[in-house]
Amino acid sequence: MKGVATLADIELMEEIPLDTRDLPTNTYAALQRGANKKPDKIALQFFLQGTNYKDAVFYTYKDLMALITQTANMFHALGVGKGDVVSMILPNLPQAYFTIWGGQAAGIVNPIDPLLDAQVMANIMNAAGTKVLVTLAPFPASNLWQKVASIANQVPTLETILKVDIGYYLGFFQRVGLSFLNLRADKGPKLAANVQDFGLTARQHSGEKLAYGRIIRPDDMAAYFHTGGTANTPKLAQHTHFNEVFAAWSLTMSIGLEAKNIVYCGLPLFHANSVIATGLVPWMQGASVVLGTPAGYRADGVIPNFWGIVEHYGLNFFSGEPTIFSALLTVPHSEYDISSLQFALGSAAPMPVEVFSQFEESTSARMLEGYALTEGACFSSVNPIEGERRVGSIGLRLPYQDMRVVVLAADGRYERDCRPNEPGVIVVRGPNVFKGYLEEAHNQKVWINTGDGGGGWFNTGDKGWQDAEGYFWLSGTKENVDDA
């Protein structure tokens, strides 16, 4: 699949109406479509330690869909319906993927950062109305279970806690030790919620097909992503199924990712960027994902061994923050064959020009800098893979997504569109853009009406400009669109 080279390529794509593109109507159907291409192909590989990256567990597409389906059926049996919430407080494990996509097939999934303070976790779950929580079982190198246990009784809607045992990925004697640790933990504070083992409970359910008659519609809610707010009033962005399906499809059309590609996931799976760009995007195409360690890039041995990981798995693509690319530039790679690496995607913060240039020169991989928002279900713009990549810019808008720079009045109302190279506030609109925050108070001043008849625009709060060729640039400053 060939990606975008110029804005004209995007406009040419858009001459075909989106509703004739035959996109899947929900994330479960999107995953099924990718899996049906080659069911016996490896879909996911996971290694536990960066220092032992060659020791991996793998799942075929047949395995992946069976485990996602099994997980969805488990959630449904635990009372999760269309409007019920499954929260997830997990490091990067395969079970996180099973929970995300199985949770969306059964109800609404709510990924939460495991590094947050325990009280903030409780506040997020209360805001979401969590019914089921998936978290890590007691583990010596983590205090996550202790944090969860300390606040679980503060969430009155929480009925079931499912513990993921990381011992599955360890040797026999280490698993035995963990079993004793789990027994001691079960004798801790009395929890109102029913506590069960994730794996044992899931295996009681079928992985062949969804055992309930739900028709998952495009506008059904798929996820609540925590994206800020105050500690007491967390801000949860609502994604529909079609928000995520379209976002994944549009990014794929822009960067040209194919079934033959192998993608690395090192960013945390509580971020929409990681869930979509290194989950739904490759799996919709029948590509493969390598999930590296529970702590992602932060784990011991990952950055020092990264070029060995590229060589061993034949990685073609990965995404990361500017600090990741800066760190990788300090690691020699001359002893490794990294010729498989085709491109890398940067987001979250502007990429320093010297890092961009040095990375391309050092690896021969194409560096793509883009612009990603949780409210936009992942990327809204990216530098073109087949065309000019303007260093320092966030690239061209993605197909079928609107993006503008506008002048706003002091009260936040729209005044006019900016001229080329004129600074203003970036606004976005399209099938990828969320339906708003869960708490209505957070939706004040975030929607802009330009009077063009195409519906409201989301005010990103980011300042920037668009040049004459359609490339967007960030100025590094942000408007305060919501004090909450």
The secondary structure of 96-147 as a DSSP string is: HHHHHHHHHHHSEEEE--TTS-HHHHHHHHHHHTEEEEEEEPPBTTB-HHHH
- Give the pairing type, strands 457-466 and 447-448: antiparallel
Instruction: Determine the residue type at 335.
Output: E
What lies within 8 Å, CB to CB, of 98 at 6+ separation is: 67, 68, 70, 71, 202
The per-residue pLDDT for 460 is: 95
* Residue found by looking up tokens 């360890």 in the block: 170
The Cα 406–Cα 24 span in angstroms is 33
Pull the structure tokens for residue 99: 């929970």
Q: What is the structure's pLDDT at 186?
A: 54
Mean pLDDT of each 10-residue bin along the chain, 484 residues long = 86 96 97 97 97 96 98 98 98 98 98 96 98 94 93 98 91 57 61 97 97 96 91 90 98 93 96 94 97 96 97 95 92 96 80 85 90 93 91 93 96 95 97 95 93 93 96 78 40
List the beta strands (DSSP E) in 421-456.
424-429, 447-448
Domain 1-402 has CATH 3.40.309.10: no
SS3 of 133, please? strand
The ranges assigned to domains in the chain are: 1-402
Q: Residue 446's closest CA among 231, 228, 219, 276?
A: 228
Distance of CA 369 to the CA centre of its chain: 17
> For residue 85, what are its two tokens?
């919430």
CB contact at 8 A, 396 and 383: yes
DSSP string, 38-53: -TTSEEEEEES-GGGT
Residue keyed to tokens 């808008």: 397
CB 385 within 8 A of CB 371: no
Where are the extended beta strands (E) located within 191-326? 194-197, 221-229, 234-240, 262-265, 288-292, 317-320
d(CA 289, CA 291): 6
What's the burial of 83, exposed, middle or buried (CB within 10 Å: 0-12/13-18/19+)? exposed
* pLDDT score for 173: 47
- Beta-carbon count within 10 A of 198 CB: 24
- The pLDDT of residue 35 is 97
CA angle 98, 222, 219 (to 5 degrees): 145
What's the pTM?
Answer: 0.94
Residue 1 makes CB contacts below 8 A (sequence gap 6+) with 252, 253, 256, 257, 258, 285
- End-to-end CA gap in the chain: 43
Please state, as a whole number, how many other Cβ atoms lie within 10 Å of the Cβ of residue 159: 17
Alpha-carbon distance of 318 to 303, in angstroms, equals 13
**Strands laid side by side in the 343-346 sheet:** 56-60, 42-47, 288-292, 262-265, 317-320, 343-346, 366-373, 378-382, 396-397
Whether the CB-CB separation of 11 and 34 falls below 8 Å is answered with: no
- DSSP type of residue 167: G
